[in-house]
Amino acid sequence: MAANPNVIYMDNNATTRVAPEVVEAMMPYLTEAYGNPSSMHTFGGVVGQAIKEARGKVAALLGADPEEIVFTSCGTESDSTAILSAIRTYPEKRHIITTRVEHPAVKNLCETLETATGHKYRVTKLKVDAEGMLDMQEYEAALTEDTAIVSVMWANNETGVIFPVEEMARMARQRGILFHTDAVQAVGKIPIDLKNLDIDLLSCSGHKLHAPKGVGILYVKRGTLFVPFMVGGHQEHGRRGGTENVASIVALGRACELAMEKMEEENSRVKKLRDRLEESLLTSIPKSMLNGHKTLRLPNTANISFEYVEGEAILLHMNQHGICASSGSACTSGSLEPSHVLRAMGVPFTAAHGSIRFSLSIYNTEEEVDLVIAKMPTIIANLRKLSPFWKG
Amino acid sequence: MWEYTDKVQQHFLSPQNVGEVEDPSGTGDVGSLACGDALRLTLKIDANDIIVDAKFKTFGCASAIASSSVLTEMVKGMPVDEAAKITNEDIAQALGGLPKEKMHCSVMGREALEAAIADYRGLTLPKAEGEVVCECFGVTDIEIIRAIKESNLRSVEEITNFTKAGGGCGKCEDKLRVLLETTVGGKAQIVIPQMPQKKMTALQKIKKIEEVLEREVRPGLRKDGGDIELVDVDGDFVTVALRGTCKSCSKSQTTIKEYVEKKLREFVLPSLIVEENS
């Protein structure tokens, strides 16, 4: 299936285009350089060297030491590894702190830990306010001697809201509690410098920053007690068994290198595009509202609710114009309720069902934003004509 | 992405008969904003009981809009008696099928048609009575009070789990609390008394647990032919075994969590976790 050249891709929090430079960097490891990095011969050794270089590039983007980087298969594996490692390290501690707006990779794992152990584990899910922000007093009060780990996402995938994880990690460290952050949406979009932070564990996913799907990272701060999730060979210094996904690891290294180069652009040009799109839609379309904090937000994400219309219907009309985005409506998820993130924020149902997430990348252009700005008002107006609730 | 048939796409992208007929003979309103879909169907019916016009307004996804659109096409020109026989399967079939997760969209079409015909005939369908408390999910006070009584609910959280009320914006929480208090009286107020600062010894704890089981728990269980035994206490974890009729009861987990654990937390230690011996 060939990609449609007319696609306007604004769904980059779901996944991203693999950068051409990344494809180029990984290709040799899908063809001639097929050696096993653990082999004794030079043929394998050069592959091992490529992984070492990739590890260095990832570490550079995160402000970490290369030895602190463990390659995994995805963000979800990194999250599971981090949280399960913490509770195995401290089996006597039976409390976990997380938030109500986590990605299912953390949310469902914590819920399973609660239920599958017959409530031996207690999970505190921190509330968020109408702008999606946490109450730091509630957080401080939740930290106890029994807390094994705190797992709080760096940036929210649906709204782009950024949590104060630096400060939260500091508070956890003061009490000797491990701190994990799911930074899948943050890495590559905002600057991160782990060596100066109290974050013990951090998850990242390749395909959110223009590397292919099927590769992720777990950062484990030096000195952090660690129990592996995948037990097997000596790979990754015994922290993750299994022969390395060499091509994807090399790809991720290159993607991190590119992300560092483009960080400035992401936070200036992409942010400007996003701001223009957002302001224009909110002005030209009545009864529309922004979900999430206005400024404490990723530079690429805009989550906008169009009241009295339903998200799936909006997406399918956008699809007619080749515009790709996401929705927090119930119908798109197959459940009866809209997004848990928007519900936790108290977004009214009239708005939650009609929420659309636009997430941009460095590949988006002014022309694309112009087209979306031109098409959206008609799409919403046409659907509102059908809506029994619209008194326009 | 849903796999929609061409027919669904066609009706979704170019819906037929959008709007409301003037001076309708019958109107059917179903669904709500909370459910994510709602439909208003208006019918014009002539002196010979023939549906001469049908229009719709729908809030919902592609399949909800397509179901409504195809329904208006189906009923136009149809005698009312015949239209009354249309099932949701008929609607789905007219669209060449719907994904199974989306069948409720065709049900909504059938319900709206039923409601509109009932309205035309001057019948009242058994509608939800009472006053709406939770506007997000359209739950009435009567439904909530019934759930509190039937399922023995004791907290606002439980009401949300059973009825969905309060699960949206949460603005009705105070109303729910009032309903709960008036329905169950003082029983809703499970006040956890301040515990003495001094830590109990393991022996004191076990004795206290045994005492509370005897005084607060056993009488209720024995009345139903059941019983309970304390198996082990390990820190905050209390292991018990249910005996007699309780043992085979399908609600044993609820008994343990909702009844035994609450009593022990109330009278012994608020941090206790009760588990069944397996």
Q: What is the pLDDT of residue B242?
A: 84
Q: What is the pLDDT of residue B192?
A: 43
What is the torsion angle, in degrees rounded to the nearest 10, for the CA atoms of residue B139, residue B140, residue B145 and residue B147?
A: -30
**A308 shares contact with chain B (CB less than 8 Å):** yes
**Chain B residues inside the 8 Å CB shell of A355:** none
Exposed/middle/buried for A334, CB within 10 Å: 0-12, 13-18, 19+?
Answer: exposed
Mean pLDDT of A355-369: 97
pLDDT tier at A41, thresholds 50, 70, 90:
very high
Q: What is the pLDDT of residue A332?
A: 61
Alpha-carbon distances of A283 from A159, A161, A347, B31, B183, rounded to whole Å: 19, 22, 20, 30, 48
- Is residue B15 scored above 90 in pLDDT? yes
Q: What is the pLDDT of residue B271?
A: 82
The interface predicted TM-score (ipTM) is 0.86
Tokens in use for B126?
């058994």
Among the partner-chain residues B65, B168, B169, the one whose CB lies closest to the CB of A386 is B65
Nearest to A144 by CA among A119, A180, A175: A175
- Chain A with chain B: Cβ pairs closer than 8 A: 79
Q: Do A388 and B59 touch (CB under 8 A)?
A: yes
Could you tell me which chain A residue has the CA closest to the CA of B13? A317
Distance from CA of A386 to the nearest CA of B (A): 5
Tokens in use for A54?
């990739």
Exposed/middle/buried for B125, CB within 10 Å: 0-12, 13-18, 19+?
Answer: exposed
Q: What is the pLDDT of residue A378?
A: 97
pLDDT tens string B219-267: 888 877 888 888 888 888 888 888 877 777 777 777 777 788 888 888 8
Q: What is the pLDDT of residue B191?
A: 41
Tokens in use for A91?
């089996």
The distance in angstroms from the start CA to the end CA of chain A is: 42
pLDDT tens string A89-129: 999 999 999 999 999 999 999 999 988 888 899 999 999 99
- The chain-wide mean pLDDT, for chain A, equals 95
Q: Do B33 and A350 touch (CB under 8 A)?
A: yes
Bridge partners, A357 (sequence order): A303, A326
Residue of higher predicted confidence among A35 and B152 = A35
Catalytic, A110? Answer no
**B167 shares contact with chain A (CB less than 8 Å):** yes
- The chain-wide mean pLDDT, for chain B, equals 83
Q: Which residues of A316-329 are buried (b: 16+ CB within 10 A; e: fewer)?
A: bbbeebebbbbbbb
**Chain B residues inside the 8 Å CB shell of A309:** 59
Helix axis angle, B156-163 to B141-150, nearest 10°: 110
A114 close to A239: Cβ distance less than 8 angstroms:
no
Mean pLDDT of B142-160: 78
Q: Do B36 and A338 touch (CB under 8 A)?
A: yes
- Is residue A286 scored above 50 in pLDDT? yes
- What is the spatial distance between Cα A85 and Cα A149, in angstroms, rounded to a whole number? 10
For the whole model, what pTM was predicted? Answer: 0.78
pLDDT tens string A202-253: 999 999 999 999 999 999 999 999 999 999 999 999 999 999 999 999 999 9
Could you tell me which chain A residue has the CA closest to the CA of B12? A313
Among the partner-chain residues A308, A331, A387, the one whose CB lies closest to the CB of B61 is A331
**Chain A residues inside the 8 Å CB shell of B232:** none
Helix axis angle, B6-13 to A311-320, nearest 10°: 100
Mean pLDDT of B182-206: 64
Q: Give the best residue of A94, A386, A390 to mutate against chain B (max B CB count within 10 A).
A: A386
- What is the spatial distance between Cα B213 and Cα B230, in angstroms, rounded to a whole number? 8
Find the range with the poorest average confidence among A31-35, A369-373, B162-166.
Answer: B162-166
Helix axis angle, B173-184 to B141-150, nearest 10°: 50
pLDDT tier at B132, thresholds 50, 70, 90:
confident
- Is residue B87 scored above 50 in pLDDT? yes
Name the catalytic one among A74, A110, A256, A331: A331
Q: Do B40 and A388 touch (CB under 8 A)?
A: yes
Share of chain B residues as helix, strand and coil, in percent rounded to the nearest 5: 45, 20, 35
Is B274 in a helix, a strand, or coil?
strand
Distance from CA of A335 to the nearest CA of B (A): 9
Look at the alpha carbons of A70, A75, A77, A81 in this order and tell me if their dihedral is positive or negative: positive
pLDDT tens string A141-179: 999 999 999 999 999 999 999 999 999 999 999 999 999
Mean pLDDT of A365-377: 97
**Chain B residues inside the 8 Å CB shell of A353:** 33, 36
Residue of higher predicted confidence among B184 and A244 = A244
**A350 shares contact with chain B (CB less than 8 Å):** yes
| Catalytic positions of B, written as ranges | 35, 105
Q: What is the pLDDT of residue A284?
A: 98
pLDDT tier at A333, thresholds 50, 70, 90:
low
**Chain A residues inside the 8 Å CB shell of B18:** 385-386
Please name the residues in contact with A96: beta carbons below 8 A apart, sequence gap of 6 or more: A83, A87, A110, A113, A121, A122, A123, A124, A147, A148, A149, A150, A151
